[in-house]
């Protein structure tokens, strides 16, 4: 999707449906529901909302992976009402993700990665190389690669299917949850 078409939605206060290209031969499109918070050059920072209108995550998404943005649909209008309700009820951000987000340096993607590493925050990474999410705290950023402690994340979540921490080429990252409810709980209770 072209930059000028995306840029008009930055700072919009109504939920957007942000569709990304699929990893499964375009059989299914994935989408996030939320708001575009910031432009990071080739990436955007999104504030996503969950199925009930609560703040779910701060996600970095690769612009070139966005296939379309829908605004003002019946679906997004319904979620606008959900968000209004959760905000009026002071329930929108129960994990204080917005406050945590303000602690991060968001000048560019690499600075943000380094800051996630410094904060020892668990992140979730989506790539063009895999059709699954890789999760864990950042162990190392070096030579264009990022390594997560996927083994620890997997074991502490009761899974034993990850036996090594596979380096991820940064250039293959299409999206990354820098803050999410799920990762907040992992960080808090692990």
Same domain, 184 and 97: no
The boundaries of the domain holding residue 123 are 109-189
Contact 153, 166 (CB under 8 A): no
Same domain, 93 and 122: no
Q: What tens digit of pLDDT does each residue of 115-125 get?
A: 999 999 999 99
The predicted pLDDT at position 87 comes to: 97
Same domain, 142 and 92: no
pLDDT confidence tier of residue 27, bands split at 50, 70 and 90 = low
Same domain, 9 and 96: yes
The predicted pLDDT at position 22 comes to: 62
| Domain termination site, one of 101, 120, 142 | 101
Same domain, 158 and 121: yes
* Conformational region of residue 102, where left means phi above 0, alpha means psi within -120 to 50, and beta covers everything else: alpha
Same domain, 97 and 113: no
Same domain, 15 and 67: yes
Is the pLDDT at 62 greater than 80? The verdict is yes
Q: What tens digit of pLDDT does each residue of 131-162 get?
A: 889 999 999 999 999 999 999 998 888 887 78
The predicted pLDDT at position 126 comes to: 93
Kindly report the CATH number assigned to the domain that includes residue 121: 2.30.30.100
Question: Considering the chain, what is the average pLDDT of its residues?
Answer: 91
pLDDT greater at residue 159 or residue 74 = 74
Q: Strand 43-49 vs strand 55-62: parallel, antiparallel, or unpaired?
A: antiparallel
Overall number of domains in the chain: 2
Query: What is the mean predicted confidence (pLDDT) over 156-179?
Result: 90
């Amino acid at each position: 999707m072209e930059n000028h078409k995306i840029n008009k939605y930055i700072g919009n206060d109504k939920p957007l449906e942000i569709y990304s290209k699929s990893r499964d031969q375009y059989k299914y499109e994935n989408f996030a529901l939320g708001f575009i918070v910031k432009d990071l050059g080739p990436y955007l920072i999104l504030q996503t909302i969950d199925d009930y209108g609560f703040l779910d995550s701060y996600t970095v998404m690769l612009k070139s992976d966005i296939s379309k943005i829908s605004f003002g649909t019946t679906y997004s209008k319904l979620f606008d009402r959900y968000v209004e309700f959760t905000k009026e009820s002071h329930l929108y951000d129960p994990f204080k993700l917005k406050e945590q987000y303000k602690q991060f340096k968001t000048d560019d993607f690499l600075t943000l990665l380094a800051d996630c590493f410094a904060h020892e925050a668990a992140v979730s990474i989506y790539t063009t190389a895999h059709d699954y999410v890789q999760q864990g705290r950042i162990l190392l950023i070096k030579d264009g690669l990022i390594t997560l402690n996927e083994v620890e994340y997997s074991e502490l979540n009761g899974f034993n299917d990850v036996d090594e921490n596979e380096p991820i080429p940064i250039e293959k990252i299409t999206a990354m949850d820098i803050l999410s409810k799920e990762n907040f709980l992992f960080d808090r209770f692990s």
